[in-house]
Structure 1
Amino acid sequence: MNGGRGASARVVVLALLWGSGFLWIKLALTGLSPVHLTLVRCALGALTLLAMAFAARQRLPRDG
């Protein structure tokens, strides 16, 4: 396999990040309702996208 240890480490990190989402959802559902969890996830996603747009010096569209 081309890439060796670095590629394996990236796959392991990706698996941990991807799989941990299910654990966090399970833990959050014990303290939050599904509606609250959905709102929090949407808000965090929007903040992430805004931060990325700001870092890339992109302007938000002003028209509909």
Structure 2
Amino acid sequence: MKVNVGTLDRVIRAILGLVLIALVFVGPQTAWGWLGLIPLATAFMGNCPAYSIFGIKTCKTK
């Protein structure tokens, strides 16, 4: 699996994922907050399937 998510993109995804998951416990307390697992997982893996489909790459090439 090739890395296609850059460092800044990973940080933003991780923060967004954590905020969405926090909505499960505070705020409106709906199950929609569990969608935060998707950006969190892509941040840790460094690979975004949607980026692969569209040919987008935010990481620096070596």
Give yes or no for TM over 0.5: no
Higher relative contact order (CA 8 A, sep 6+): 2
Structure 1 or 2, whichever has the larger Rg, is 1
Normalised by the length of structure 2, the TM-score is: 0.38
Normalised by the length of structure 1, the TM-score is: 0.37
